Amino acid sequence: MSDKEFNCKQEDVPAISGIVALNYLRDIAEFNGFSSEFTEQLVAEITAKRTACLEMTKSSEVIEQQKSVTQQIVDKIAELRIKLNKLEGYLDLADKTLDLPIAAFGIATLRENVRDKNIEGIVFQGNTTLTMITRNAPQLAAKGMKADFTPALKALIDELDSLKIAQKGKKSERAHTAESNIVELNELWALVTKILKAAQAIYRGENDLKLKDYTMSHLKKQIRPKTADDKGAEAISAVK
């Protein structure tokens, strides 16, 4: 994955670039006097890149989709816990008539996988348990297990399997999208950095006020205004 080349948050890059572009347009004559490379074309390039970065909403959409899938997994696991409680009850009632010991149904292993949220383990052991239930369907039905219990349990296990596959897909998609975003942001930042470095050469020692407009500390403050807590702390400090 590409390394980020900007020393701020990803969402700050378009905001900072916008401020720098405005300052640059104001001072373009001085920049152009320093070097003919600094023209309005640079603003056009920043604007185009900035627009592209602002439109990169796919990453946040993928994150929300991933969260949704994860929550569905959590909900299905909760349902499975309830199903296992009922299954254990039926197995206890039918204990003397089953063709194998209750321990062979693997409920303990299933619960362990449920506790660890190990979906692969749930699916593997769950299908084994379903086979045992089917073998003993008449005995369990005699003790009250409804005909739809086993199909519902199988559907629940299959849903967990599908959700896990979807979760892995969203994780991979998120990684690819993040990589694409970093590349675009790095390209925008390279244009901003060109202006910031030139401003150091133009204004350092000659115009501290304008130089301030091209320093990262000042730019970050402009996009992140002080909170009430910050202002309160400053007021207390001033009283002291």
- pLDDT at position 113 over 50: yes
Alpha carbon 36 to its chain centroid, in Å, reads 43
The beta-carbon contacts of 95-103 under 8 Å, at least 24 apart in sequence, are 97/136, 97/139, 97/142, 98/136, 98/139, 99/135, 99/136, 99/139, 100/132, 100/135, 100/136
The pLDDT tens digits of the residues spanning 124-172 come to 999 999 999 999 999 999 999 999 999 999 999 999 999 999 888 877 7
pLDDT value at residue 60:
63
Q: Which of 65-74, 192-201, 216-225 has the lowest mean pLDDT?
A: 216-225
Q: Which is more confidently placed, 178 or 69?
A: 69
What average pLDDT does range 194-223 have in this prediction? Answer: 94
Q: How far is Cα 51 from Cα 56, in angstroms, rounded to an integer? A: 9
CB 102 within 8 A of CB 133: no
Alpha carbon 231 to its chain centroid, in Å, reads 32
pLDDT value at residue 180:
65
pLDDT value at residue 234:
40
pLDDT above 70 coverage of the chain, percent: 87
What average pLDDT does range 225-229 have in this prediction? Answer: 49
Which of 178, 185, 215, 179 is CA-nearest to residue 6? 185
pLDDT value at residue 205:
94
Alpha carbon 22 to its chain centroid, in Å, reads 32
Q: How far is Cα 214 from Cα 157, in angstroms, rounded to an integer? A: 58
* Confidence band of 238 (pLDDT split at 50, 70, 90): very low
Give the single-character DSSP code of 141.
Answer: H
- pLDDT at position 109 over 50: yes
DSSP H or E run through 110 = helix 107-115
* Confidence band of 112 (pLDDT split at 50, 70, 90): very high
pLDDT value at residue 163:
94
CB 236 within 8 A of CB 224: no
pLDDT value at residue 28:
96
Q: CA distances (Å), 206 to each of 35, 85, 202, in order?
A: 17, 78, 8
Q: Which of 52-56, 81-85, 137-141 has the lowest mean pLDDT?
A: 52-56
Coil/strand/helix, residue 197: helix
Determine phi and psi for 214, rounding to 5 degrees: -120, 20
pLDDT value at residue 51:
87
Q: Which is more confidently placed, 87 or 179?
A: 87
pLDDT value at residue 233:
40
pLDDT value at residue 176:
63
What average pLDDT does range 184-190 have in this prediction? Answer: 91
Alpha carbon 190 to its chain centroid, in Å, reads 26
